[in-house]
Structure 1
């Protein structure tokens, strides 16, 4: 969305997360295999496939009960979005609404209020070079 709003080509060097929820196979190796398959098939983007049934371990949280709950713990409000294709129909999830997504705003999710969480938020913006990629991006802390 931010690429579109900034006049960049769609999916140009995009960072795309493909998520699912499977309590029966929570090994990171399974996700890594999916990473390889998707990256080979669709090389136009940086894909990361992650089972949200295991991501609570990475986040230091209680286990998530669904993909939606896992997504709601992502760092920035504008990235806590998902699209699902089911029976030929798209459904959308916006965990924190659409304001930040459509207004080019990077803001930490409400649960991230500690100094360490703020540091994580800031480091992600720097590491991913968001302000270079989207010069109009507004950082709100």
Structure 2
């Protein structure tokens, strides 16, 4: 499933979510689940964790988005 594989490579767990219409029903594709989204937690996905080559990209992205200014209760894992 290409859509699932695509969002599995997103930097943050709570942004790795997509919806699609399948057989006239809405299907949620969330390879890391929805818990972080509903708990307002920003965490890196597997490819972007601390020991990863891509971790600096995750940190840069999360910092540049300035999400804490919009959602002050948001928890950021950096």
Tell me the TM-score normalised to structure 1 length: 0.49
- Runs of 4+ in structure 1 deviating by more than 4 angstroms, as ranges, are none
Aligned residue pairs: how many?
A: 77
The answer to whether residue 72 in structure 2 is matched with residue 104 in structure 1 is no
Q: How much is the aligned-residue C-alpha RMSD, in angstroms?
A: 1.7
Tell me the TM-score normalised to structure 2 length: 0.83
Alpha-carbon shift at residue 84 of structure 1 (Å): 0.6
Q: Distance in 2 between matches of 1:94 and 1:115?
A: 21
Alpha-carbon shift at residue 128 of structure 1 (Å): 1.4
- Listed as ranges, the gaps of 5+ residues in structure 1 are 1-64
- Structure holding more helix per residue: 2
Q: Is the 8 A contact 1:80 1:96 kept in 2?
A: yes
- For residue 132 of structure 1, the aligned residue among 69, 72, 76 is 69
Higher radius of gyration, 1 or 2: 1
- Listed as ranges, the gaps of 5+ residues in structure 2 are none
With over 3 angstroms needed to count, the CA separation of the structure-2 counterparts of 1:95 and 1:115, relative to structure 1, is: closer
